[in-house]
Amino acid sequence: MSPASMTQKYSTISPSLAVGNDEPDRNLALELVRVTEAAAIAGGHWVGFGDKNTADGAAVDAMRSFLQTVHFNGVVVIGEGEKDEAPMLFNGERVGDGTGPEVDVAVDPIDGTRLTALGINNALAVLAVAERGSMFDPSAVFYMEKLVTGPEAADMVDLRLPVKQNLHLIAKAKGVKVNQLNVMILDRDRHRPLVEEIREAGARTKFIMDGDVAGAIAAARSGTGVDALMGIGGTPEGIVAACAIKSLGGVIQGRLWPTSDEEKQKAIDAGHDLERVLSTNDLVSSDNCYFAATGITDGDLLKGVRYSKDKVLTQSIVMRSKSGTIRFVDGEHRADKWEGYARKS
């Protein structure tokens, strides 16, 4: 069965969800879960096969097909793939069925393509939606310096402060000692000085290979064992994470980090102040935004896709900032409905 015919068949058995004409409706959240489920199921067939681009391409195709069934008039403003020449839903691409509210769409069909290829934890299929014109345009600056923490210290931290001072502020807000804090950070050579600062301040580090959307959510949610995320990661992932943090009540602060003189000049030509610290509201200005993610591999946030002879099991999270609602969704799908996305041997 082709992806197009599968999409049509799937959509005919799904309930029709009404969406207001002027702004995204609360029921949109459940439509978005269908999209991330599709991407996760398609990409999940390639877990552990060592081919991140093929996995990403499968997830992109599935996400694109299912996005066309969603009742909105969307434009992809944050797409993935350009920075590593991987398959992508491109910036400016129109998505949705062309009716309903006009929205910005941020996509990451696989946040953690290398994690997927190697069968490592914390790969997600991710999608965020906000009212049109509300998502930050980074003008092709693919990386940013980030600081994420939960609601307790959201009004206290500042990316411009020394690392040690921010950690003491977080510890004070949480009512713990600094040596009880866990700071999540991407395992990159560029972070060696930052790691030294964190440890000299007395806090612990928790490394992740990739997937800083999941890391940002862990830093903003209580009960995860992660108190902050620090370091340089993807700008698209930062904007996607901001949509989730809007619901969680934490904070993400970012500062653009061009990787070349050419990229720096493009940012300056686009009017960006490279010293400016961007707040959560700068990254996503709308108070009515949505975040959805489905696990591809098992992780701290979600279980990965599980396949059996007749069923496919998924676990997703969906958030809406306007109500502050967070839902976990366990999906059970008939395997024969997804044959078109199965890995070909």
> Can you say which residues are annotated as belonging to the binding site for Mn(2+)?
56, 80, 108, 111, 237
Q: How many helices (H) and strands (E) in the chain?
A: 10, 13
Which tokens go with 211?
């997937």
Q: Which residues are annotated as a binding site?
A: 56, 80, 108, 111-113, 143, 188-190, 210-212, 234, 237
Residue with tokens 């994470």: 241
Residue 156 C-alpha from the chain's centroid: 24
Query: Is 155 exposed, middle or buried, given 0-12, 13-18 or 19+ CB atoms closer than 10 A?
Result: exposed
Distance, in Å, from the CA atom of 46 to the CA atom of 54, rounded to the nearest integer, reads 8
Q: Which residues pair with 232 in a beta bridge?
A: 145
Q: Which residues are annotated as a binding site for substrate?
A: 111-113, 143, 188-190, 210-212, 234
- Say whether 108 sits in a helix, a strand or coil: strand
Distance, in Å, from the CA atom of 107 to the CA atom of 111, rounded to the nearest integer, reads 9
Residue 296 C-alpha from the chain's centroid: 13
